[in-house]
Amino acid sequence: MNKKIIFLALCSLLLAPCCAVEAQQLTKIPRIGILDTSTASRSAAQWQAFRHELSKLGWIEGKNIAFEYRFAEQKSERLPELAADLVGLKVDLIVVTAGPAAAAAKKATPTIPIVMTNAADPVGAGLIASLARPGANVTGLASLAPELNTKRLEILKDALPGLSRVGLLWLSGGGRGQELQMKELRPAATALKIKLEEIETHPDYRELDSAFQTAKQKQIKAIMTTNTRPFLTERKRIVELAGKYRLPAIYGQKEFVDEGGLMSYGAPYDDLHRRAAVYVDKILKGAKPADLPVQQATKFEFIINLNAAKQIGLTIPPNVLARADKVIK
């Protein structure tokens, strides 16, 4: 009897580590790496929409999913280091905000799935093989930024009859996505008989102020920006400067209008982040990124802020107001 008891005790000791390992495996929850070119505060609303959509799909933070956030604070040179950090943590999936972040993540890992929330032109940037069959480990959403900039220029032309000179603020080191936007805009400006003055700048107040001064000196009558994350992060300053120099402006995201900007037309970032959550759900349930087609933005909003128009003495034509999805009075 004693020998039997000793034998059972030894067996339990030998099996204990196995049970402990199995218990850990059962309680292990997937970790999602977030690689954002912006700041935590400026991107808070988008990531809240992302987490909310995941919760509707059954993924509750702290219960069955965890997040590792890395923000580049508008310093694109930090993206490779932050991407490598997430790969070193062995996250199960990486969600990226735009083309530069996607490129950094793809270079850092050929195996960990990567989901884009709003890449401007992922095919042109070499991130995927095609929209229908992305291949490799990258999939997600394309924001159609190049095509939408052309539409914004058309809206400016309609809102300011006789408009002949538009200033385009573009970001130094903005990457392949920005180049594609500018390539699309140049012939569109020519077709609309608009002189497009390209003004290089950096995302800080002094440089932005200098850019607006340049616009005034060149007798530019309206402003637009390329659709980049750093400009979105500095939206409050850009809107303030547009008001200071009394320059009508159109932006790519409604967040600019939320800060008092005149007009915006584009795909809502919060909607793109919600749709990215669906990709995360599918991949965590076993789908391969290579088999998930990249979807283009399908929802667009045109918003006009009449308070901003009044401050700069601008009257928006009735036919333009009638096209707006939302008019702020």
| pLDDT (0 to 100) of residue 16 | 47
- Which residues, 6 or more positions from 91, have their beta carbon under 8 angstroms from its beta carbon? 31, 32, 33, 68, 112
What is the b/e burial string over 109-127, where b = at least 16 CB atoms within 10 angstroms of the residue's CB? Answer: beebbbbbbbbbbbebbeb
Instruction: DSSP letter for 297, please.
Output: P
| pLDDT (0 to 100) of residue 98 | 82
| pLDDT (0 to 100) of residue 287 | 97
Instruction: DSSP letter for 170, please.
Output: E
Q: And the tokens for 58?
A: 């059954």
Which residues in the chain come in under a pLDDT of 70? 1-27, 145-146, 174
Q: Is the pTM above the cut of 0.85?
A: no
| pLDDT (0 to 100) of residue 124 | 80
| pLDDT (0 to 100) of residue 42 | 84
| pLDDT (0 to 100) of residue 51 | 97
| pLDDT (0 to 100) of residue 157 | 96
Q: In a 10 Å sphere around its CB, with 0-12 CB exposed, 13-18 middle and 19+ buried, how is residue 8 labelled?
A: exposed
| pLDDT (0 to 100) of residue 4 | 52
**String of DSSP letters for 264-278:** EEE--HHHHHHHHHH
| pLDDT (0 to 100) of residue 30 | 97
pLDDT tens-place string over residues 261-301: 999 999 888 999 999 999 999 999 999 999 999 999 888 99
pLDDT tens-place string over residues 102-149: 999 999 999 999 999 988 788 888 899 999 999 999 999 987 766 788
Domains of the chain: 27-143+269-296 (3.40.50.2300), 145-266+301-328 (3.40.50.2300)
Angle at 87 between CA 84 and CA 91, to 5 degrees: 145
Q: How far apart are CA 100 and CA 137, in angstroms?
A: 16
Query: Whose structure tokens read 């087609």?
Result: 293
| pLDDT (0 to 100) of residue 295 | 94
| pLDDT (0 to 100) of residue 314 | 96
